[in-house]
Amino acid sequence: MSETPKNLLDVLARLQEIESRLENGKSGFQILAHGNFEVVNDGQLKSGSGDRRMVEHISFDTPLDHVPTVYTSIAGINTDSDFNSRAQVFPENVTTEGFDLVFRTWGPSNLLFVSANWIAIL
């Protein structure tokens, strides 16, 4: 199904094909682990100014054979409406056993809640 989808059913069929390829490891990469983590009213991110960060260590359920590539994304956020919203999430110190998930804000931003999804691939 390499042609351009013409309607919603074509789009859904294409998404199902992609999902199936990912589940069966035919995509050129392999999903090794995935998850979500959220921070609610963390004192470091909730108030203050300047560069602030919170680090959460994520351990894989079982050690991996190779160091994976870890991708992160912000899945949800709630900020103080009196300030600009500034947020970043990224992995650090990736090993075969896990990684550090970093939540960062800066300036006069107040993060009341932030959620991140992550995926480790090979």
Average confidence score pLDDT of the chain: 84
pLDDT, tens digit, 9 for 90 and up, residues 36-50: 999 887 777 887 788
CATH number, domain of 40, equals 2.60.40.2080
Q: Which residue has the tokens 């998850």?
A: 35
Say whether pLDDT at 1 is over 50: no
Kindly state whether residue 56 falls inside one of the protein's structural domains: yes
Kindly state whether residue 21 falls inside one of the protein's structural domains: no
Kindly state whether residue 24 falls inside one of the protein's structural domains: no
pLDDT-derived band at 2, boundaries 50, 70, 90: very low
* Domain containing residue 102: 30-121
Number of domains in the chain: 1
Highest mean pLDDT among 4-8, 101-105, 109-113: 101-105
Token reading at 71: 């991708």
Q: Write the DSSP assignment of 92-121 as a string of letters.
A: ES--SSEEEEEEEE-SS--EEEEEEEEEEE
The pTM score is 0.74
pLDDT-derived band at 6, boundaries 50, 70, 90: low
pLDDT, tens digit, 9 for 90 and up, residues 67-109: 998 999 999 998 888 888 888 999 999 999 999 999 999 988 8
